[in-house]
Amino acid sequence: MSKIGIIIKREYLTRVVKKSFIIMTIIGPILMAALMIAPAYLAKMDDENVKEILVIDQTDAFSKYRLNNSYLTNYRLKKDSVPFDSTKMLIRRLPDSEKMKFHFLDKDMNLKEGKELLKKEQFYALLFIPKNLVIQPLLSLYSKKESNRNIISYVRSKLEEEITNQKLKAKGVDPEILSTTKTELEIATKIIQDDGQEKDSFTSVTMILSFAGGFLIYMFIFMYGSQVMRGVIEEKTSRIIEVIISSVKPFELMMGKIVGVAMVGLTQFVLWIILTFGIVTAVSFVMVDQSDLLVSTQSSSIMSHNQASSISSTSTPEDSEKMNAFVQQIDKFINSVNWVLILGSFVFYFLGGYLLYAALFAAIGSAVDAEADTQQFMMPITIPLILGLVMMQTVLDNPDGSLAFWGSIIPLTSPIIMMARIPFGVPVIELILSMGLLILAFIFFTWLSGKIYRVGILMYGKKVDYKELWKWIRHH
């Protein structure tokens, strides 16, 4: 085995047997699978409690009817139980939703009394609508705990609508007419391929895929780049470096470390893909089985009436139909994506981006005596990487814009940006240009880092600045 092979082998083996590697390899896919599956479950497990909300409406605009005063006296007499007569809760413009129930109090009741009531009884919140709401649109919501965002946004949207309506009415526009003119459009997006075939496009899911690709590249470069840096610092501080470079060239040692760590990264990536795929498949099997089961219980429950109510409260046939449709949609999406291209270019851009940055990380590690001293040199590395991540947001909105183009051509950001663009489709010529430049840049930065590295590793106890680094590059 060549010497560089021996180095790669050591760097690889010492890392893959580490506990942290094994833990990350197992936890990663669980997290990813959880991210994919959790939303579905969370929606189901959401708080089922209906929130009871008191309303003092001084404008009288939102409630046509109110509880009469007897309620209040009643309440004052019988503190323990407050009988709400739901028949008296009449149609209002602040209608109850699935999760919220609004109880309108007497408009003459003052805020203080309302608060008392909120404090003593099982109400979730108190909404106070002041008289001059139309002129000065400010409401107050009092609650015992931090206010629930759903309630805030629900109340806001309903009341905004109502105020708009009232203003329209005042100007002589009938809101009824306006509502009939409201139109909601849905756009079915299709892509016409070169061979003339149409295929469904999945913009939102593609965006998730793009983001995941770009973000993973970012994360991998940082994670494994800093592993290289730490490895170099370890060799320097433990003083084994001089023993080793009397046997191998500094450049061989640097490249051996970089390649060894790259292989660790690839191993982790492949394991993540396999494990994530395994977990998602296993879980979705279980989920599909459950929904099948629900459909069958549903049909059987028609026969046994007394059980029907209890079962329909957990799931309806509609639910499982929705679920099936969703699964089908995902199937369609999975089939529509060019996975070979995406995974292939992921591996390329991970390696290219990593090699480029890892060389720089190695140079930094060689120039310092301890990890704490790396700060000043980390800036030029972290800025383009973070810039790439920030630019990615814009690129996702407009994957063919000039920002996207340049971001995916310039080698410092191209691994992240190009990965984000690929799921949307990128002209082959741009892909080749980007890849070619990345290779050139990686060769250049490796050469540059090698120059810094071979001087740096033998410098002990010296505070190094950029000027010093420049000298190393020029003089040695």
Partner 1 sequence: MSFFRTENIYKSYANHVALRDVSIEVEQGSVFGLLGPNGAGKTSLIRIINQITAPDKGQVILNGKPLSASDIRKIGYLPEERGLYKKMKVGEQAIYLAQLKGLSKTEAIKKLKYWFEKFEIIPWWDKKVEELSKGMQQKIQFIVTILHEPELLIFDEPFSGFDPINANLLKSEILALKEKGATIIFSTHNMDSVEEICDDIALINNSRKILSGSMKEVKQKFKTNRYEIAFNGDINGLELSLRHQYKILENKKEDDKTLLKLELVDPQLTSNNLIQSLLPIGDMISFNELIPSMNDIFIQVVQDNKKEGENE
Sign of dihedral through CA atoms 331, 336, 341, 346? negative
Q: Which is nearer to partner 1, 92 or 454 (CB)?
A: 454
Which long-range contacts (C-beta less than 8 Å, at least 24 apart) are formed by 91-97?
Answer: 91/64, 92/62, 92/63, 92/64, 92/65, 93/61, 93/62, 93/158, 93/162, 94/55, 94/62, 94/63, 94/155, 94/158, 94/159, 94/162, 95/158, 97/154
- 247: amino acid identity, one letter: S
Among 20, 87, 122, 238, binds partner 1 (CB under 8 A): 238
- Integer Cα distance of 55 and 154 in angstroms: 14
Q: Which two tokens stand for residue 111?
A: 């805020």
Does 239 participate in binding partner 1 (rule CB under 8 A)? yes
Does 369 participate in binding partner 1 (rule CB under 8 A)? no
Closest residue by Cα to residue 122 from 61, 75, 172: 75
Stretch near partner 1 under the rule CB under 8 A, chosen from 244-252, 290-298, 392-400, 441-449: 244-252
Among 108, 161, 174, 242, binds partner 1 (CB under 8 A): 242
Phi first, then psi, for residue 169 (nearest 5°) are -60, -45
State in Å, rounded, how far the first CA of the chain is from the last one: 30
Stretch near partner 1 under the rule CB under 8 A, chosen from 3-11, 76-84, 268-276, 404-412: 3-11
Least CB distance from residue 229 to partner 1, whole Å? 16
Q: Which two tokens stand for residue 315?
A: 């799931």
Binding map of partner 1 across residues 9-48, x = CB under 8 A, - = no contact: -x---x----------------------------------
Does 243 participate in binding partner 1 (rule CB under 8 A)? yes
Residue 15: CB atoms within 10 A of its CB come to 20
Among 69, 153, 179, 247, binds partner 1 (CB under 8 A): 247
- Integer Cα distance of 100 and 123 in angstroms: 11
Does 8 participate in binding partner 1 (rule CB under 8 A)? no
Phi first, then psi, for residue 92 (nearest 5°) are -135, 175
Does 6 participate in binding partner 1 (rule CB under 8 A)? yes
Using CB under 8 A as the binding criterion, the count of chain residues that bind partner 1 stands at: 26
Q: Which is nearer to partner 1, 8 or 381 (CB)?
A: 8
Least CB distance from residue 439 to partner 1, whole Å? 28
Among 16, 36, 141, 244, binds partner 1 (CB under 8 A): 244
Least CB distance from residue 476 to partner 1, whole Å? 8
Binding map of partner 1 across residues 49-78, x = CB under 8 A, - = no contact: ------------------------------
Stretch near partner 1 under the rule CB under 8 A, chosen from 102-110, 240-248, 263-271, 377-385: 240-248
Among 60, 174, 234, 397, binds partner 1 (CB under 8 A): 234
Binding map of partner 1 across residues 292-321, x = CB under 8 A, - = no contact: ------------------------------
- 1 touches 9 (CB < 8 A): yes
Does 443 participate in binding partner 1 (rule CB under 8 A)? no
- Integer Cα distance of 424 and 213 in angstroms: 12
Binding map of partner 1 across residues 250-289, x = CB under 8 A, - = no contact: x---------------------------------------
Among 110, 458, 463, 465, binds partner 1 (CB under 8 A): 458
Those residues with Cβ within 8 angstroms of residue 400's Cβ, 6 or more apart along the chain or in another chain: 424
| Positions that interact with partner 1 (CB under 8 A) | 1, 3, 6-7, 10, 14, 234-235, 238-240, 242-248, 250, 458, 460, 468, 471-472, 475-476
